[in-house]
Amino acid sequence: MKGTNLYLLLFFVSLFIQKSFSQNIQVVDSYSSQDLVQNVLINSPCANVSNFSVAGGNFGTSENSYGYFTAANNSFPFANGIVLSTGKANSATGPNTSTLSETAPNWNGDNDLQQALSIGNTVDATSLEFDFVPQTSSISFDYIFASEEYHGTAPCQYSDGFAFLLKKNDATSTYENLAIIPNTTTPVKVTTVHPDIQGGCGPENETFFGSYNGINAPINFNGQTTVMTARANVVPGKSYHIKLVIADESNYKYDSAIFLGGNSFNIGLNLGPDRLIATNNALCPGTNFAIDATQSGTNSYQWFKDGILQSVTTPIFTAQSAGVYKVIVTPQNAVCAQTGSIKLEYYPIGVLQNTTLVQCDIDNDGKADFNLQQALPLILAQNPNLIQPQFYTSLSNAQNEVGAISNPTTFSNHTSATVYVRFKDSATSCSTIGTLNLQTSNNMVAPQSLIAVCDSDLNLDGFSSFDLATIATPSLLMGLPSGLQVAYFGSQAEALSVTNPLSNPFDNTVAFNQTIFGRIINGADCYSIVPITLKVNVFLPAVLSPKSVFICNHTPAPLIAPAGYSGYLWNTGNSTKTINVSAAGVFEVEITDGKGCKNKQTFTVTDSEKATITNVLIFDFNEENSFEVQFTGNGSYVFSIDGVHFQNSPLFQNVAIGEYSVNIKDQKNCGTTTSSPFYVLDYPRFFTPNQDGFNDFWQIKNLNKQPKSIISIYDRFGKLLHYFSGAGDGWNGTYNGNLLPADDYWFCLELLDGRKIKGHFALKR
């Protein structure tokens, strides 16, 4: 449809768009294949196009699966172009409020597509084909792939297929697919271009994923890629065939579409792939990049950077900074000028900080060995991606990576006063170079006094712990400029090379006396190196034997610490060599010698005392009489009733009736205590009042010692017959002057201690 009819159609479409307030793309599906190719996609005099064809679904409604779209006044990247769909083309119009799964009767797939993508069972294919003869050496065009299959975890498994197939028009050529991930052979599909799918799979070529589409999207598909470019090298004057095809795979559900940018079919020069950070082929900082647009014959060259005409007119343009570079090559007497463009980006790499490293000059000859690695943190300036530092004695060696310094930890400035350090960038493999100047210092620091500590473990082995930060650093830095710090090393060589620094606290490794070296530093720079002598003193003797002391009856006794030391401190708070104690306990004294070393001696004091008798419990009027002495006292005691034989228990059993007193003797010889006399009593089981002068009265022996005790006599029926006191003579077996018959009689004895003893006895005639 060329000429008046086409112009009228474009006029009405334009008028329709101008009057539409929609923010969605608009689709017209009545264009012919020639209109779509010649007037929408290519529109260039640099190619002769012919043999147009288009194929798609027959919906029976005059609707097609291909068409022309416009996207004025919305966010869609293309202002206009061609849409090829696996459903109706006009269904691609936004917003994205429905799921497209459209098909048509007998709508088959495409064998060329299946062969190109190594897939099978395609349906609902739409294709646009044409021949063209380029007059330049390369072609390219822009496109977006969109699909309803961008939902849930579907991108991990499912994708419709599409391809841009190109081949020479001869009997032996085969198709090449141009719809691939840049710098790869991977076809662009839902499964090869998507972000991280939570609960499904990780990202795939996420840089080329454009977006998921919400309900306000200008197209009616769930997701889409970024604008991508298909490229190919061609031979000027040769005839080529191109087939743009898309199809559903396996079934008709979840449609997809290709959007081709209008007038994006560029038949021009191929200046090579864009050098982009996103495609991991950007340029390293400082790189000069030669863009070669050389063409045979007589040509004129115009170069542009970011749309600005440059003064260069040669076929090769040397780019030194990022930007979009374009060239127009106009052959002499030609109607078709060739154009080409390339976008250059540079990797961002942190800037190094050139610095100076100062080393101590021990012999003041201006030369010293440097540990070059000490300067790395300063040079890096917190650029964590810079790795693999290598040092060189010249800039050219660093640039060419030859002759790296083999001994960076002991490098002498006699070789070179300036070195260069080259870093690799871990993210890009680019390199950057910094400068390190080497200087020496010979600052004087006052000699340090010997530092002595005591052998804290008391093993007399000459080893101890030194808190260098407390006992050494303040003295070293006294009077020096502020901001200096000290690191300690076991030898002067290690202090110079800054290797094997000593830990703090430091446990000496040479018994009794050892010299270490303090490196006074200002950051990485050496201010001075100073020897320091460490000494370990020991307390003699190593062991102060514990002492035991015994006291009686709280009589004070002296605790005497060893003589000949400078200080004493008891756990009682006393600070004398001798203290007096009058109570049991553990007493400890900390002893300090003349070198300040300390040791401890322990005195264990035990005491004892005479017992104090508090009571005697008498268990008498039994067949087995006994008594127990009750007492108080802090001692170990034995007990006796005859002063000769002693027992460990205060309980005396199976004792006869009679008078007793108990002796309690302290086994530590702190004294003996004797009780007052006491009596063990018992009553006679019978008596014979027959006036023969023997056993004529019933009475309790020794009860007269408790004269106020009362005894009552009863017959078996409980009748009171007689009572008398402990001072009385007893009962003669009569009642009211009459002799009572032989029988058992009962008594009740009330003692002064409150006890009541009851029993019975026999009267015999």
Per-residue pLDDT tens digits for 483-495? 999 999 999 999 9
- For position 6, what pLDDT does the model report? 38
What confidence category does residue 458 fall into, taking pLDDT thresholds of 50, 70 and 90? low
- For position 73, what pLDDT does the model report? 67
Averaged pLDDT for residues 106-126: 94
What confidence category does residue 15 fall into, taking pLDDT thresholds of 50, 70 and 90? very low
Give the tens place of pLDDT for each residue, 365-418. Answer: 888 999 999 999 888 877 888 888 999 999 999 999 999 999 999 999 888 899
The lowest-confidence range among 74-78, 259-263, 643-647, 717-721 is 74-78
- For position 705, what pLDDT does the model report? 84
- Rounded Cα distance between 44 and 38, Å, is 8
Averaged pLDDT for residues 97-125: 94
The lowest-confidence range among 103-112, 314-323, 332-341 is 332-341
Task: Tell the residue number behind the tokens 């419990």, with chain if given.
Answer: 617
- Rounded Cα distance between 409 and 371, Å, is 4
H or E, element range at 360: strand 355-360
- For position 298, what pLDDT does the model report? 86
b/e 228-260 (16+ beta carbons within 10 angstroms → b) = bebbbebebeeebbbbbbbbbbeebbbbbbbbb
**Percent above pLDDT 90 for the chain:** 68
In this predicted structure, the answer to whether residue 729 has a pLDDT above a threshold of 90 is no
Give the tens place of pLDDT for each residue, 604-660. Answer: 999 999 999 999 999 988 888 999 999 999 889 999 999 899 999 999 999 998 899
In this predicted structure, the answer to whether residue 466 has a pLDDT above a threshold of 50 is yes
- For position 693, what pLDDT does the model report? 84
- For position 315, what pLDDT does the model report? 95
Residues whose CB falls within 8 Å of the CB of residue 170, separated by 6 or more in sequence, listed in order: none
In this predicted structure, the answer to whether residue 710 has a pLDDT above a threshold of 90 is yes
The angle subtended at Cα 359 by Cα 354 and Cα 362, nearest 5°, is: 165
The 10 Å Cβ neighbour count of residue 647 is 11
Average pLDDT value for the chain: 90
- For position 300, what pLDDT does the model report? 92
Radius of gyration of the chain, Cα coordinates, nearest whole angstrom: 59
- For position 172, what pLDDT does the model report? 92
The 10 Å Cβ neighbour count of residue 179 is 22
What confidence category does residue 17 fall into, taking pLDDT thresholds of 50, 70 and 90? very low
Longest alpha-carbon distance in the chain: 183
Averaged pLDDT for residues 127-153: 91
Averaged pLDDT for residues 241-258: 95
Give the tens place of pLDDT for each residue, 209-218. Answer: 999 999 999 9
- For position 9, what pLDDT does the model report? 41
In this predicted structure, the answer to whether residue 310 has a pLDDT above a threshold of 50 is yes
pTM value is 0.49
Shortest CA distance to 715 belongs to which of 702, 701, 731? 731
In this predicted structure, the answer to whether residue 10 has a pLDDT above a threshold of 50 is no
Pairing of strands 663-666, 672-674: antiparallel
Written as one string, the DSSP assignment of 496-551 is: HHT-SBPPSSEE-SSSSEEEEEEEEEETTEEEEEEEEEEEEE--SSS----EEEEE
| CA pseudo-torsion sign 699, 703, 704, 706 | negative
- Confirm if 423 and 432 have CB atoms less than 8 A apart: yes
Looking at per-residue pLDDT, the higher value among 749 and 270 belongs to 749
- Confirm if 227 and 151 have CB atoms less than 8 A apart: no
List Cα–Cα distances, 57 to 124, 126, 395, 485, in angstroms: 7, 7, 67, 82
b/e 472-494 (16+ beta carbons within 10 angstroms → b) = bbebbbeebeeebebbbbbebeb
What confidence category does residue 2 fall into, taking pLDDT thresholds of 50, 70 and 90? very low
Task: Tell the residue number behind the tokens 């290797």, with chain if given.
Answer: 499
In this predicted structure, the answer to whether residue 440 has a pLDDT above a threshold of 80 is yes
What confidence category does residue 745 fall into, taking pLDDT thresholds of 50, 70 and 90? very high
In this predicted structure, the answer to whether residue 467 has a pLDDT above a threshold of 50 is yes
In this predicted structure, the answer to whether residue 459 has a pLDDT above a threshold of 60 is yes
Task: Tell the residue number behind the tokens 């004895």, with chain if given.
Answer: 749
What confidence category does residue 334 fall into, taking pLDDT thresholds of 50, 70 and 90? low
Averaged pLDDT for residues 578-604: 94
Residues whose CB falls within 8 Å of the CB of residue 508, separated by 6 or more in sequence, listed in order: 462, 463, 464, 466, 514, 534, 536
